[in-house]
A and B are shown apart, each in its own frame.
Chain A
Amino acid sequence: MGLLSDGNTERVVLVLSHDYAGDDLLNEVKKLVMSSKARRLTFYVISPDGRPKYFQKLRPMISSIISTSFTVVYGGSTAEDLRRLLKSIDGGIVAAIIVGNCDEFKEILESSGINYKVLG
C-alpha cells in the first residue's frame, strides 16, 4: 500500500488567522509530533492567505519536523471551507489548532464535536 493510502496517519486541522506570527504553532506541533504514535501526519490547513502563500506561516513548523512523514493539504479560507473540509476528511482528527483570532471557526469545530486548542 502506498504511503498516501496507508492507514497509520494522524490528522491535524490547522486554522491560521491572517495576523498570526510567532512560534506558538511550532512549539505545539513539536509536542504533537513527540507524543504521536502514528507513523505519519496530515495537516489540513485553513488560511486566508491562499495557496501557496500560507506556507509562509508554516515554514518553521515544516523545517522542524524531521522524524515523521507528513503531508500538507490546503482546505480553503472560509468557515464554509472548514465545514466542507471536516466532512471530507476520512478518519478521526487527532487535533485541531486555531492560531490567532478565528471565532467563527471555533463554532464549526465545536458543532462537529472536535476538541481544539487556541494559540496566540
Chain B
Amino acid sequence: MSLRKFLRVQALIIKFWGELAMPDYEVIITSDRTMMSNHHGKEFLGFLTTGPALFLPERMWLWLAAPKVRVDSEGRPVEAPYGLRKVEAKLVDAGFKAAIVDPDYLEKHLGSVKVLMVGHHDFFAYGPPSNEWWLLTGKEPVNRVSFINFMRSDAVRKIKGKGAKIIVGGPAAWQWLWELNFWEEFGVDTVVDGEAEKVIVDVVEKALNGDPLPDYISVGPLDTPSVEEIPTIKGASVNGLVEVMRGCPRGCRFCSVTLRPLRHIPLEVIEKEVKINLMSGVSSVLLHSEDVLLYGGNGVKPNPEPLIRLHELVRKNFKGPIAWSHASLASIKYSEDNYGLISKLMNDYVLNDEQKFLGVEVGIETGSPRLAKSVMPAKSLPYPPIKWPDVVEDAFSIMHENYVIPAATLIVGLPGETPDDVVKTAELMDKLKYYRSVIVPMFFVPMGNFRNRDWFNKHYLTSEHVDLMLKILQHTLYWAEDIMNKYYVKEPHLAPVRLCLKLFLQYVKWRASKLLPTLTATVTR
C-alpha cells in the first residue's frame, strides 16, 4: 500500500470513529450568530446587532457586535443565550437527547437531528431598537439579515430536506405572523410564543413521534411555569446572565412582561447557575430581571434583606464584574432614600479592584407626568405619577454618585402623545445632562410602517421631536465618550474593539454636526 493510500485510509478510520463517538442529538437548539455570541464579553455591545452596518463593512460590524463563541468538539458553544439554555435544560431533564449547537456546526449533526429548534429575541428586527434604526437609516439591521441568511444556509436547508421539524420561539415569536413568506420559505412547522417550559416537552415529543403539530402555540399567563417548573441551566449563559425574577407588577401598557405572574427564583438556584457559568470560564455575572431591585420585594417596594443576600452570595463566589440587566428608577430612588441600599450594595459588594462601575438598563420613557399617568401609572410607584420627572432626576443623581451607569430608554410617539408631552420630556433631558448615562429614544411604530419613511417624516419630524432628539444626541455623545475613556472596554485584549467604537462615535459626531444646521432650523421654525 502506498504512503498516500495508507494516510487516506487512516483519515477515513479516524473520521469513522469520530462520527461513531459523536452523541446522536435528536433535538438541536440553535440561533444565528447575532444571538450566539458573547459580544466580546460586553453585553451592551450586543445592541450593535440591532442596527445596520454603519461606517464599517458588514463583516467588520458583525465581528464588532457578535464575534463567534468558543465551542467544543461537538460544536456546542461554551456560552449560549439564556433562553435557549432553559429550553435545553427542560428537554434534557425530560430525557431527550438535546443540545444547543453553534450555527456553524449544525452539519456535524445532520445524521441524527430530527427536530431543529431556533430561538431569537428579535427574528425580523421589528422590536426596539432595531425597528427604529431601520426606519432612520432605511437599511435592514444586521440581526434581521443574519437571521434570514442563517435560515437560508445549506445546513438548515439540509436539515429540513431530510424531514426534520423546525420549531421556532422566543420573545419575538409574534413577528412570524408578519413574515408569512419567510415562514413558508423556511418550512417552519410550529411557532411557540410565551414562556415555553410547560409546553415544549409535549411539542418535541409530538415532533419526534411524527404526530401533527399545531402551527402556533401561545402560552397565556395561567400556563406560565411555577418556580419549581423552571429548570436549572445545564451549560453557561452568555456573559453569565442569570435570572433572579420573572414577571413585573407595574402594569405598563406598552409591556407584555407585566401580564405574567411575579416569581422570585430561590437563592440556591441562582447560586447553582452562577457556579455553572463560572466553571465554564465565564468572567461576569449579569443578574437578570425586569427590575432587579424588586427581587424578594413587596410588590413595588424593594426589600433590602433579599438584595443584600443576593449580592453577598454572588460575591462569595466571584470577585469579577457584576451587572444588573434592568432596574426601575422608582426602585432606585426608594431603596436609596429609605435604606441607603444603592450605596450599600455598591460600596460593600459591587465595587472592588476588579470593578469600577455597574451597568444597568433603565426606562425613563417620558418626562410628561400626564403621559406617565396615562400609559404607565405604576411605573413611578410608590411615588405618584405627577412626581415622575423628579423620580427620574433623583434616581439619575443617585446612580451618578454611586458609579451606576445606566443606559436609559425613552419612548417617543406613544399613542395620545401631545407636543407638550414632548416638550416636557425635552425639559427633563436638560435636567439629566449632568449625570453619566446613555439615553436612547425608542420610536413607537405601528406594525406595517417600518419601511414607510413618509410615515416617519409625518409623525416624527415636528420641531418638538427634533429638539428632543438633538438633546438626546448631545447628551449621549458627550457621556458615551466619557464612559469609554474612563470605564468601558478598557481591557488590553479589546483594544481593536475600543478603536472601532471610538471611530464609530467620531463618525456619529461628524454626521450630527453636518445635520445640525438643518435640524436647528427645523426647531426654530
Contacts and interface: CB of A to CB of B under 8 A. Distances in A.
Nearest to B193: A62
Interface in B192-246: 194, 198-199, 201-203, 205-206, 212, 214-223
Interface string A70-108: 111110000000000000000000000000000000000
B216 A68 contact: no
B261 to A, nearest CB: 12
Contact of A2 (B174, B201, B220, B256): B201
A3 B199 contact: yes
A3 B202 CA distance: 7
Contacts of B198: 2-3
Given A52-B180, A55-B177, A4 B206 contact: yes
Interface string B169-188: 00000101110100110001
Contact of A66 (B188, B203, B259): B259
A30 interface: no
A3 B218 contact: no
Contacts of A65: 218, 220
A52 B214 contact: no
A56 B180 contact: yes
A65 B177 CA distance: 14
Q: Report which residue of B178, B203, B217 has the largest number of chain A beta carbons within 10 angstroms of its beta carbon.
A: B217
Nearest to B213: A73
Interface residues of A, number: 26
A4 B198 CA distance: 9
Interface string B255-267: 0100100000000
Contact of A4 (B194, B202, B222): B202
Contacts of B180: 52-53, 55-56
A55 B259 CA distance: 24
Given A53-B180, A56-B180, A69 B174 contact: no
A26 B284 CA distance: 47
A28 to B, nearest CB: 18
Contacts of A52: 176, 180, 183-184, 188, 215
Interface in A23-54: 39-40, 42, 51-53
Contact of B215 (A4, A5, A72): A72
A58 to B, nearest CB: 8
Contacts of B202: 2-5
Contacts of B219: 3, 69
B218 A51 contact: no
A69 B188 CA distance: 21
Contacts of A62: 174, 177, 216, 218
Given A2-B199, A4-B199, A59-B177, A71 B216 contact: yes
B212 A63 contact: no
A95 to B, nearest CB: 18
A71 B214 contact: yes
A67 interface: yes
A33 B219 CA distance: 14
Contacts of A68: 220, 222
Interface in B103-141: none
Nearest to B204: A2
Given A3-B202, A53-B184, A63-B174, A74 B215 contact: yes
A67 B215 CA distance: 20
A51 B223 contact: no
A63 B193 CA distance: 11
Contacts of B215: 51-52, 55, 72-74
A11 to B, nearest CB: 12
Contacts of A71: 214, 216-218
B203 A70 contact: no
Given A2-B201, A4-B199, A63-B174, A55 B220 contact: no
Contact of B218 (A4, A39, A69): A69
A73 B177 contact: no
A25 to B, nearest CB: 15
Interface of A: 2-5, 39-40, 42, 51-53, 55-56, 58-59, 62-63, 65-74
11 contacts: A2-B198, A3-B199, A4-B217, A55-B215, A56-B180, A58-B177, A62-B174, A67-B220, A72-B214, A72-B215, A73-B215
3 tightest A-B CB contacts, nearest first: A2-B202, A69-B220, A71-B214
Given A52-B180, A69-B194, 14 more contacts: A3-B199, A4-B199, A5-B202, A39-B222, A51-B215, A52-B183, A53-B184, A58-B177, A69-B219, A69-B220, A70-B217, A71-B216, A72-B215, A73-B214
